[in-house]
Amino acid sequence: MKSKLFALVLVTMAALACNDGPTSPVTIGSGSGPLDVAGTWTGTANDSAGPMTMTWRLTQSDRNLTGTFTGTTTVGAPIYTAGAITGTVSATAVSFTITVPAGGIFDAPDCSATFTGTADDVQPDSMAGTYAGTDSCGGTFVGGRFTLLKQ
């Protein structure tokens, strides 16, 4: 009797392990911890100053985010050559500030810029959101939208 029960348990365990049925969906940020956004992200952005391609290289420690930022024109000419990102990560969004110091804007070495924004559509391999900011030489830029893909 014990050997039949043992065999039944083994067959049941094997059937469960080989089940090709539906699995529960995995939702990023469904837990109470922060999203994991460490890595390199590249994509497009557009604001009142025009379009650009941006790259973020992010490191993360719990909910704190740091990294670097560069921006180019859509054909690859440099715009922002040395920016820093700081921010916070929650279970569902990323809030950030990008600071480009004097010397970090191509063709405008005396100018600096600051962007603030939120990525509220964050997936394992993409994020999208909004931003606004100021350029010390060019004034404010508004209506910024970006979409980044994890590399």
Beta-bridge partners for 46: 51, 145
60 is a domain residue: yes
Mean pLDDT value of segment 90-101: 96
Confidence of residue 119 (pLDDT cuts 50, 70, 90): very high
pLDDT for the residue 34: 86
Of residues 96 and 124, the one with the higher pLDDT is 96
Report the share of the chain in percent with pLDDT over 90.
73
Which among 44, 91, 86 has a CA at the least distance from the CA of 65? 86
104 is a domain residue: yes
5 is a domain residue: no
In angstroms, the CA 67 to CA 18 distance is 42
Structural domain for 56, as ranges: 35-150
25 is a domain residue: no
Mean pLDDT value of segment 60-87: 96
Mean pLDDT value of segment 67-95: 95
pLDDT for the residue 32: 61
Mean pLDDT, the chain, whole residue set: 84
Q: Which pTM was predicted?
A: 0.78
Beta-bridge partners for 83: 69
Which among 74, 121, 67 has a CA at the least distance from the CA of 98? 67
Residues 82-119, buried b or exposed e (16+ Cβ, 10 A)? bbebebebbeebbbbbbbbeeebbbebeebbbebbbeb
pLDDT for the residue 33: 76
120 is a domain residue: yes
At 138, which CATH number? 2.40.128.120
pLDDT for the residue 31: 53
94 is a domain residue: yes
Confidence of residue 55 (pLDDT cuts 50, 70, 90): very high
74 is a domain residue: yes
Find the helix or strand (DSSP H, E) in which 17 lies.
helix 2-17
12 is a domain residue: no
What total number of domains does the chain contain? 1
pLDDT tens-place string over residues 1-35: 444 433 333 333 344 344 444 443 333 444 567 88
